[in-house]
Amino acid sequence: MIDLRILVLGTGGTIAGAAGSATGGTYRAGGLALAAMLEQLAALGLDAQLVPQEIARIGSQDIGWPQWQALHAACAAAMDDPAITGIIITHGTDTAEETAFLLDLTLPTTKPVVLVGAMRPADAVGADGMRNFANAVKVASDRQATGRGVLLVMGDAVLAARDARKAATSAIDAFRGFPRGPIARVTPARIDWFAPPHRQEEPAHYAFPDSLPRVAILAAGAGMDEQPVEALLGIGCKGMVLAGMGQGNAPACVLGALARAAAAGVPVVRSTRVDEGIVDRNVEVDDDALGLVAARALGPAKARVLLMVLLANGITDASRLQAAFDGG
Ligand code: ASP
């Protein structure tokens, strides 16, 4: 039997949140130290040995470049360390999909990497964090969890990073997957994987960059004009993601301004503000003529992550950008 040794990277979030009241409506995300969380877990009698490393103790709304850099470095080191069999990252749920996807794009798939969060603070009645964490330990301990990219465990569901998305502000069951729903369920007895691993022994898709360019999300709304596009160009945006209406639509004047931005070397990706669905090329918007890229299944937040990584890796040409959005 292999000795299971899991690196646990703590970043904060509600899973480490302290309300100071079992029923209170306010709380501080990241109030609880990682060591205190792991002490509570030790009482659950899990099989794996957990190795804590605190990266931050913040709400994930404040996560950005410094924490991403630290997380990537810690994960990359753990991938190379034969004593570590898997990685868990405790994370706030607000931006879990962004961190998960960034790491998914920039890490090899040789060991399980599992993000886990919670919707209720650790000291609330009916807190979900310990349950989610225990499930994350099970998943990170499972050999079948490798070769699938970065995973997100919430409740009893396992989602792939590329699919995962926060879809509710406070419900326990806050995450959905699109285009795939959960790729596995954790049951009390086992983990049911719905398909075999499809990314066995893959190297990282992209190099983790030295910095990330400024890429903004532009929310479309009825009756808007093109001035927000001009404003974003004015602050030096290197790329833009449209959170468009329906299939990535926007008023004609906005699409015109976005096309001018693309022609001036600021790539533009069209995604949708709708909860789910594919944004395809050249359906309602003539992407070929306007020089735009369709986000396909990625929502605005993950489209922005992918565009930042691509631009940082020197990929700026619309057809190469489109190929990356089509992929995987
Ligand atoms: N705002 C919190 C965070 O993302 C929410 C949560 O963790 O559920 O850190």
CA of 121 to the centre of ligand 1 (A): 9
| Most informative mutation of 26, 37, 94 for ligand 1 (most atoms within 8 A of CB) | 94
Cα 56 off chain centre by:
17
Does the beta carbon of 60 lie inside 6 Å of ligand 1? yes
Q: Mean pLDDT throughout 240-266? A: 98
> Taking a C-beta distance cutoff of 8 angstroms, is the pair 10, 54 a contact?
yes
- pLDDT at residue 328 is higher than 60: no
- pLDDT at residue 242 is higher than 90: yes
CA of 119 to the centre of ligand 1 (A): 7
Which is the closest atom of ligand 1 to the Cα of 61?
A: 4
- 75-87 pLDDT per residue, tens: 999 999 999 999 9
CA–CA separation, 155 and 148 (whole Å): 19
- Collapse the DSSP code of 176 into the 3-class scheme (helix H, G, I; strand E, B; otherwise coil) and give the result: strand
Q: Hey, whose CA ends up nearest to atom 3 of ligand 1?
A: 92
> Taking a C-beta distance cutoff of 8 angstroms, is the pair 293, 268 a contact?
yes
Q: Mean pLDDT throughout 239-262? A: 98
- pLDDT at residue 22 is higher than 80: no
- CA of 254: how far to CAs of 94, 230, 236, 244, 284, in Å? 29, 10, 18, 10, 14
Does the beta carbon of 168 lie inside 6 Å of ligand 1? no
- 201-226 pLDDT per residue, tens: 999 999 999 999 999 999 999 999 99
CA–CA separation, 76 and 73 (whole Å): 5
When the pLDDT of each residue in the chain is averaged and rounded to a whole number, the result is 95
- Nearest 5°: phi and psi at 87? -130, 135
- pLDDT at residue 279 is higher than 60: yes
Q: What is the pLDDT of residue 44?
A: 76
Q: What is the pLDDT of residue 1?
A: 58
**26 pLDDT tier (thresholds 50, 70, 90):** confident
Chain position carrying tokens 């995962």: 164
The DSSP call for residue 202 is P
CA of 15 to the centre of ligand 1 (A): 8
